[in-house]
Amino acid sequence: MSEFLPSLEDAFKQFVDSPRYRPMTRSEIAGALRLPPDARRDLRALLRRLQASGEIVLLRKNRWSRPDAGRTVTGDLVVHARGVGTIDDPSRPDAEIRIDPSDLRNAIHGDRVVVERLSGAAAGRGRRRRPESSVLRGRVRRVLERRHAVLAGLVKQTAYYWYLIPASPRFPETVRIREFAPGVRREDGRMASVELDPWEPGAAMLTGRVVEDLGRPDGPGVDMTVLLRQHGLSETFPRAVGDEVSRIAAHPDAQPAGEGRRDLRSLAAFTIDPVDAKDFDDAVSLGRRPDGRWDLHVHIADVAHYVAPDGAVDREARERGTSVYLVDRTLTMLPRDLTTDVCSLRPDADRLCHTVRMTVEPDGRVAGEETFRSVIRSRARLDYDRVQAFLSGADERAVDDGLHAVLRDMAALAARMRALRLDAGALAFNVPEVRVELDPDGRVAAIRRRGADEAYGLIEEFMLAANRAVARRMSRARVPALYRIHEPPDEEQWAGMADALAELGIHGFAPDGPSLNALVARVAGSPIEYPVAVAILRHMKRAVYSPRCAAHFGLAFKPYTHFTSPIRRYPDLVVHRILCALESGDAPPYDHAEAARIASHASRMERAAQEAERESVDLKRIAYYRDRLDRGDTGPHPAVVTGTIPRGLLVEVIATLQRGLVPAHYLRGGRASRMAPGHTLEVDIARVDVHRRLVDFRPSGAPSDAERAPGPARSRRDRRAQRMR
């Protein structure tokens, strides 16, 4: 299947970055790109916009070029905990540019930056990096866009000035406080948010203005408030959004049936979601046909019916890109009246949907498919835990008797569909996750591994099938659209994956999907199951949204898209609108350039949301171990060794997935040499650094630092180990 043409911006950037490019005038560029006359005005606007952002420059004789052509790279800066920055090199897909802390020039994590390439490869430090041949050095030339305009952290005072220590290790540099906003409390040791001053090339340090006092560090909910400010997340919506939602909610069923909308209220549809879900945007129904095949319906909330393009709700949803699921709250993409009521497929209520109907063979192959708008009435609201209890035989009363037969049929059909997908080369592993349970005061009551794999897999297979059906319809129509693509690992990533797996004692696998699946099956249920999955995922490319109809390596699909979650993902809402236009014979609602802009922004917001979600879990998990240590409840905790370094053993607690270090001074008499990656041991909590989010453990039964002999030599070793940590 051929791929769609890139947007004008993508085409121009590829052209100007190519080795054959020489500075050209606008007319020469238009000719080289074979632009039609009506697109030349767009080219002029594009050139001016890229000039304003510093990505291109205008030379003598009106010729356009990259600044320091071949010497600079523009991209998003990633800053690691040790202060080292990296940026991908677009001219070399397998390479990245490493930026030492002294060369960041006050650029911070997430900034859009222009980086100058320096000669020579970077020496690898700390954790595993790409081979030296693919890692170059660079320095920041300028910051084009500051994605984190506000930093949150701890306010401290010296005899001469105030400063802020950012709460996230991603921001290792302190911020000199220039002033406090009127009415903001001045007190050493409180958490606050600082609005950063604009980036200046010659500034000696980050500076800013305190705009909000967030409370004492140990105050209830302060940790999550800090996280919200740090990531620029908001729980509230602009007034214009609320006004528009009020108008929508006043007429929720303006088109219940007819005019192209089928009445499917007689179908036995139901939802299956996490037990704590508040919005339900997908329902399923299954029935056997007279010929022995199955009619599988996937019903998705018709958000596009309620949210008009370019309205206040749509603009806010597009900016947010996705809902964000933190430990103690959900920051919804759409206002709650829409997510939990008007659009939500609540039981025993008529709801507008967009349905994918698939004819499925007994072996799981999809033999036919169609899409259309519908109205349904969900019969039940099930959750993964109850469905899992029923399917496993643990509790047949977990679901109503009337759903027993259809759930068993669904589970069997989903298993066959999954087997076909794996036979086609899809990757077969899921990374374990933990669920943090809070008490009424917001403190951690328990941390548990998530279960219900079979129940989750049932819904997952049906959603994947619906997404594929919609993607096929869009690709056949060859209209501008959004796809979900995932490129395979490159040669360097496969090599890095092999090295990481070798550290876990695993050798000899071929660089392809079936070999990875065989490896995952081999370690399933063992202590290294999770470390192996992480080692694989860390050396994979990230799945992204794209206007290109390319393959999805992890799922072994082409084409593929996201359609099934329009309540919480903006690309799904865009796909709904494209599908509606196809069904009604209308013109495509987006052009290629607009689809490319939406894809880029949605991918960036997805990454930001995932980072915030992981950080919320890390914060609560660290607080949990700090509390356990303070109460003297240090262990034991079953753990697995994930690596060895000169400073000791890297371990991971099996129950909570908390990573930590067993320092070498706890491992005397050759004990460390016997603990290869994959070995299990029981550990006790030794030390918790809340700010750096680090935990040190000691083998259970080993004396604590306070119990160890305090001789001078031992004390010096302890002090050295402490400094190294």
Please name each of the domains of the chain with its CATH number. Answer: 8-65 (1.10.10), 72-145 (2.40.50.690), 150-231 (2.40.50.640), 239-488+541-616 (no CATH), 634-724 (2.40.50.140)
Residue with token string 């704590």: 276
Specify the 3-state DSSP secondary structure of 532.
helix
**So what's the pLDDT on residue 202?**
76
Task: For residue range 678-702, list pLDDT tens digits in order.
Answer: 788 899 999 999 888 899 999 987 7
Task: For residue range 275-293, list pLDDT tens digits in order.
Answer: 888 889 999 999 999 999 9
Reply yes or no on whether the pLDDT at 7 is more than 50: yes
- Positive or negative, the CA dihedral 438, 439, 445, 451 is negative
The answer to whether 374 and 263 are in contact (CB under 8 A) is yes
Task: For residue range 395-439, list pLDDT tens digits in order.
Answer: 888 889 899 999 999 999 999 999 999 888 898 877 778 889 888
In whole angstroms, what is the distance from residue 719 CA to residue 663 CA? 12
The answer to whether 597 and 581 are in contact (CB under 8 A) is no
Specify the 3-state DSSP secondary structure of 450.
coil
**So what's the pLDDT on residue 518?**
85
In whole angstroms, what is the distance from residue 419 CA to residue 426 CA? 10
**So what's the pLDDT on residue 415?**
94
Instruction: Give residue 719's pLDDT band: very low, low, confident or very high (50, 70, 90).
Output: very low
Reply yes or no on whether the pLDDT at 448 is more than 90: no
**So what's the pLDDT on residue 130?**
46
Percent of the chain topping pLDDT 90: 47
The answer to whether 330 and 233 are in contact (CB under 8 A) is no
Percent of the chain topping pLDDT 70: 89
Instruction: Give residue 716's pLDDT band: very low, low, confident or very high (50, 70, 90).
Output: very low
Which is nearest to 219 in space by CA: 178, 190, 255? 190
634-671 as b/e, with b when 16 or more CB fall inside 10 Å? bbebebbbbbbeeebbbbbbbebbbbbbbbbbbbeeee
Q: What are the two backbone dihedrals, phi and then psi, of residue 720, each rounded to the nearest 5 degrees?
A: -65, -45
Specify the 3-state DSSP secondary structure of 68.
coil
Reply yes or no on whether the pLDDT at 556 is more than 70: yes
Q: How many C-beta atoms lie closer than 10 Å to residue 184's C-beta?
A: 16
Rounded to two decimals, the pTM is 0.82
C-alpha separations of 139 from 77, 115, 134, 500 in Å:
11, 5, 17, 29
First to last CA, the chain: 53
Residue 647 makes CB contacts below 8 A (sequence gap 6+) with 661, 663, 664, 721, 724, 725
Task: Point out the least confidently predicted range of 96-100, 432-436, 597-601.
Answer: 432-436
The pair of structure tokens assigned to 640 is: 């697995």
Name the burial class of residue 18, with classes exposed (0-12), middle (13-18) and buried (19+) by CB atoms within 10 angstroms of its CB: exposed
